[in-house]
Structure 1
Amino acid sequence: MSVLLLWLEGPLQSWGADSRYGNRTTLPFPTRSGVLGLLCCAAGRSGEQREWLAHMATHTQTVRTYARQEGGGAKPPPLLVDFQMVGSGYDDGHPWQTLMVPRTSEGKKPVGSGAKMTYRHYLQDMAFACALELPPDEAQALAEALDHPVWELSLGRRNCPPSDRIGRGVFAAEADALAAADALAAQKGRAGVLTVRDGAHDDGDEVWTLRDVPLRFGPVKEYTERQVTLYR
């Protein structure tokens, strides 16, 4: 196996695993579904991608979190919470503006107002290294796709563009990939604050259960669970 290294850095990122429409939260690190969705955009993969997702679920993903070093230490900035009104300010009598007003699943106007209050949570000024285990030929193909993406790449949500190159090459082992990421982080004045590994391990600080492994993309998405171990 080879290891594909991704560098995910930007002013804002958002990686939701259990978000709802009105309150879209973010994990403190990239989700499995978010990383695989990013790779789909790079490679131009559309539709449900059932077979490819089943294949990718057999390969491990390790994420390392980097924050800027300030005052002798590194600490992630507080979350940014963006309050938005969706569907407000439109003229219900205008044939085009009325299309922007939220409606029920039956296409009817909701009871009361059509405007909806939503809260969007974002990570600020963070960087992540994602080491993804893959067969050598697949790792190389995805590395080339990241350098020449078919569709626009974003960090969890479309309004979160990356501020640096995402694809960082293919390595022979995970340790080599993470060492390269540590060196890049040091150049940027960042230090590691958290490492997330697949599976439940006794030597970690915490074990989380996440529902972020995609079984099907497309209009009707489907996910299953995995466990990860956090090393602080």
Structure 2
Amino acid sequence: MKTITIRLASPLQSFGNEATFSHRTTELYPTKSLIVGMLAASLGYRRDDSRINQLNNLQIAVRIDQPGKVLTDFQTVEFKPDTRKLTYRNYLQDGVFIVAISAHDKTIDKLKYALLHPKFQLYIGRRSNPIAGVLKINEFDDDALKVLKKLDWQASEWYQKKYKSEEYFAEIIADASLSKNNSGSLVKDAVGSFNQHSRFHDYRAVVNVHVSLKNKFYQEHSTKHDIFNAI
């Protein structure tokens, strides 16, 4: 088994959840359906391709290295003449997330190549949210959860410098199959179908883990002042 990590970053991101048409909210981390959708787009799978559901079997974990701030945008939609309606869209600003994907060696090699040579344009949640540059992908010989527990903090440099603590406590949301902990929960973000006429999601079991990551830019400032040492 091998694992690849992907650093997901973009000025704006959106991770769909159960929301109404008039107000589209967002999760605070990349959902499994978003990750599966990116992989499917990289591989050239179309929305109704049956192979997409096989990607649900990948073991996936996500670490929140730089929480995004929620931004709400509004749009005017006109379904019929003179029937304008305001709709709202939530986005995350400046978030940085580390996605870890585990599978057999050949599968990981195929996914890594596809992500670096995608068949379709990749974006984070909506077409207006392109990825910030070439994906940063690394490879490890361990499972996704163990990799994220050990991996250095990957937040933006400006964020790490402004963070006033020696340690950053990151949250990991992982497939329950990666953990021996039985106190998980169910979230509805596995892919059921991406077909535009019958789109739906299924439940999956997840665990939430918190890890302490070192802030390499932290400097402790002493308040002691001895004027005689300057003489």
TM-score band w.r.t. shorter chain: 0.7 to 0.9
Q: In the alignment, which of 172, 188, 197 is matched to residue 211 of structure 1?
A: 188
* 1:138-217 matched pairs, under 5 angstroms: 138-173=107-142, 174=144, 177-178=147-148, 181-182=151-152, 184-185=154-155, 189-190=159-160, 191=168, 193-199=170-176, 207-217=184-194
TM-superposed CA distance for 1:20, in Å, is 2.0
Structure 1 contact 140–170 (Cα < 8 Å) conserved: no
Q: Is the 8 A contact 2:13 2:129 kept in 1?
A: yes
Tell me the amino acid that sits aligned with residue 223 of structure 1: H
With structure 1 as the length reference, what TM-score do the two structures score? 0.75
In the alignment, structure 1 residue 136 sits paired with structure 2 residue 135: no
> Secondary structure, in 3 states, of the residue corresponding to 2:152?
helix
**Higher relative contact order by CA 8 Å / sep ≥ 6: 1 or 2?**
1
Cα distance, 1:51 vs. partner?
A: 3.8
Paired with 2:68 and 2:111, the residues of 1 have a C-alpha distance of 31
**Distance (whole Å) between structure 2 residues aligned to residue 52 and residue 77 of structure 1:** 28
- Out of 184, 209, 225, the position equivalent to 1:231 is 209
Percentage of matched positions with identical amino acids: 26
1:49/1:216 contact within 8 Å kept:
no
**Residues 1:150 and 1:162: Cα distance change in structure 2 (over 3 Å):** same
Length-normalised TM-score, structure 2: 0.75
Q: Does the CA-based 8 Å contact 2:176-2:206 persist in structure 1?
A: yes
The aligned counterpart of 2:92 is 123
Q: How does 1:1-232 map onto structure 2 within 5 Å? A: 1-53=1-53, 55-67=54-66, 76-87=67-78, 102=79, 113-173=82-142, 174=144, 177-178=147-148, 181-182=151-152, 184-185=154-155, 189-190=159-160, 191=168, 193-199=170-176, 207-219=184-196, 220-232=198-210
User: Do 1:41 and 1:151's aligned partners in 2 also have CA atoms closer than 8 Å?
Assistant: yes
Q: Deviations over 1:149-169 (max 9, x none)?
A: 111111111111121432503
Deviation at 1:60, TM superposition (A): 1.6
Q: Point out where structure 2 has 5 or more consecutive residues left out of the alignment.
A: 161-167, 211-231
- The alpha-carbon deviation at position 16 of structure 1 amounts to 0.9
Counterpart in the other structure of 1:71? none
- Residue by residue over 1:166-216, the C-alpha shift from the partner in whole angstroms, topping out at 9 and shown as x without a partner, is 250332113674368525447565455321112297969x85432111122
**Count of residues paired in the alignment:** 200
Match of 1:90 in 2: none
Aligned-CA RMSD value: 2.7
Q: CA deviation at 1:56?
A: 2.3
Deviations 1:119-178 (A, max 9, x none): 111111111111111221111111111111111111111111121432503321136743
For residue 230 of structure 1, what is the amino acid of its counterpart? Answer: N
Bigger radius of gyration: 2
Q: CA offset at residue 224 of structure 1?
A: 0.9
